[in-house]
């Protein structure tokens, strides 16, 4: 009987040690745009950081606008997004500190192979968007204040178009879902190149327009201001920022490929 009790006690002690150790692992809360998650980038680069700092990164992947709002409320420690105007406003308002450039790629317009709006003939992104509007060809918008949606609105403004009507569909969904919806409706959409490459085998929408410098897509990382939200894990957030911008982190980002294609590029 005593032997059984000793064994039981030992088992319980080991379980207590294991559980306390598991609970001791720090958790960093990260809000980010859907493209970093949908593309598979985070799954590729986070394990090295987690191992190095004995922590776990909890990811909330939504549009950039929502990511910044979550950070503004102090519900995460750090945010990784891609809408510079919104990022600058976030920092200027005192919600974030120490913004750093991390990487970049570009936006592209994808659409039906038959290209009913003649987008492939466009000389600029603004002209491409105007051709879609003039043809009243189906266009699926993120409609969610994400970085992609912010860029889309910039392009409509450049084209002097106020999109409305049955042809203009506001999805309110993430990039992956919007690409699939555009494919189902055989319409056009604006997407970041990384998510498009990751979803290429799921859709049959080729690139209709690319290459305009106006479609440059930079990503930035920002720590939540500890003066605004004292509970945030500022030191761990800064360690994360340091990792993403270090030689190790930058190499991991540049080395990440899907179907042999590089999705994100780092600054020289």
CA contacts within 13 A on the Cβ side of 27: 9
Domains of the chain: 2-104+218-262 (3.40.190.10), 106-215 (3.40.190.10)
One pLDDT digit (tens) per residue for the chain, 268 residues: 555 545 555 555 556 555 544 456 899 999 999 999 989 999 999 999 999 999 999 999 999 999 999 999 999 999 999 999 999 999 999 999 999 999 999 999 999 999 999 999 999 999 999 999 999 999 999 999 899 999 999 999 999 999 999 999 999 999 999 999 999 999 999 999 999 999 999 999 999 999 999 999 999 999 999 999 999 999 999 999 999 999 999 999 999 999 899 999 999 8
Does the pTM surpass 0.95? The reply is no
Strands (E), the chain: 26-32, 55-61, 78-81, 96-110, 139-141, 168-170, 189-192, 207-209, 216-224, 257-258, 261-262
- pLDDT, tens only, 38-94: 899 999 999 999 999 999 999 999 999 999 999 999 999 999 999 999 999 999 999
Q: What are phi and psi of 26, to 5 degrees?
A: -70, 150
Separation between Cα atoms, residue 155 and residue 133, nearest integer Å: 12
Q: Is the dihedral of CA 264, 265, 266, 267 positive or negative?
A: negative
């Amino acid at each position: 009987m005593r032997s059984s009790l000793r064994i039981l006690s030992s088992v319980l002690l080991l379980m207590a040690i294991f559980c306390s150790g598991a609970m001791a692992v720090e958790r960093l809360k990260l809000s980010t745009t859907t493209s970093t998650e949908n593309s598979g980038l985070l799954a590729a680069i986070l394990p090295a950081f987690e191992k190095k700092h004995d922590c776990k990164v909890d990811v909330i992947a939504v549009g950039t606008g929502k990511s910044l709002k979550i950070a503004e409320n102090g519900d995460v420690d750090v945010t990784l997004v891609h809408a510079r105007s919104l990022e600058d406003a976030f920092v200027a308002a005192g919600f974030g500190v120490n913004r750093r450039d991390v990487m970049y790629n570009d936006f592209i317009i994808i659409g039906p192979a038959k290209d009913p709006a003649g987008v492939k003939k466009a000389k600029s992104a603004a002209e491409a968007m105007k051709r879609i509007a003039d043809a009243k060809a189906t266009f699926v918008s993120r409609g969610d204040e994400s970085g992609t949606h912010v860029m889309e609105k910039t392009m409509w403004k450049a084209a002097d178009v106020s999109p409305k009507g049955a042809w203009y569909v506001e999805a309110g969904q993430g990039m992956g879902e919007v690409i699939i919806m555009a494919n189902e409706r055989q319409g056009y959409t604006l997407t970041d190149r990384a998510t498009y490459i990751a979803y290429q085998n799921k859709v049959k929408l080729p690139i209709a327009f690319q290459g305009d410098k106006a479609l440059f897509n930079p990503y930035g990382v920002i720590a939540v201001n500890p003066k605004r939200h004292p509970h945030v894990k500022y030191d761990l957030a800064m360690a994360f920022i340091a990792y993403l911008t270090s030689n190790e982190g930058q190499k991991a980002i540049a080395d990440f490929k899907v179907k042999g294609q590089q999705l994100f590029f780092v600054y020289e």
